[in-house]
Amino acid sequence: MRKIIFLDRDGVINNNNLYYIYRKEDVVFNPGVFETLKFLFSKGYEFIVISNQSGISKGIYSKSDVENVHEFMKSEFKKHGFDILEFYYCTHSPSVENCLCRKPETLLVEKAIARFQIDVSNSYFIGDQQRDVQTAINSGIKPILIDANSDLTNIINKII
């Protein structure tokens, strides 16, 4: 069974001051992201991103835009010596439609657990919003709430 660190994307991995990040040119990685995840990888953790991307439903950007950002992120992580297993994202906006995949709902986490045989008792969810915490709790995963765009090295002592 795999030990997973689930990560929210915007505000945890990258700076979300622009709110909608859908161009790789706008991706600014937060302090400590690469160092922290590489260290946790060395301790046997793997990584999955769970993200709400309501801009798709609102017509602000496309799935292709999101996929391009994710491919760019994957390549940057690979340069630092580790991979992201998968990026799961919800395309829906609560102002447009209801769904079961938008955080704090758990469908995306459930898909990841089934696909990757995850040990939820040894996994964490790092997020910058209360909905991330609620997703973790609803999924039986330990939540870690951080300030948006903060240095990720501060969470190491909460895991190791």
Per the residue annotation, which of 10, 65, 128, 132 is the catalytic one?
A: 10
E strand or H helix at 157: helix 156-159
Query: Is 65 considered catalytic here?
Result: no
Decide if 146 contacts 154 (C-beta within 8 A). Answer: yes
E strand or H helix at 156: helix 156-159
Query: Is 10 considered catalytic here?
Result: yes
Alpha-helical segments (H) within 1-146: 33-42, 63-79, 107-116, 130-139
Angle (CA) 69 50 155, round 5°: 100
Q: In Å, what is the CA distance from 129 to each residue of 35, 56, 64, 118?
A: 22, 20, 25, 23
Catalytic residues: 8, 10
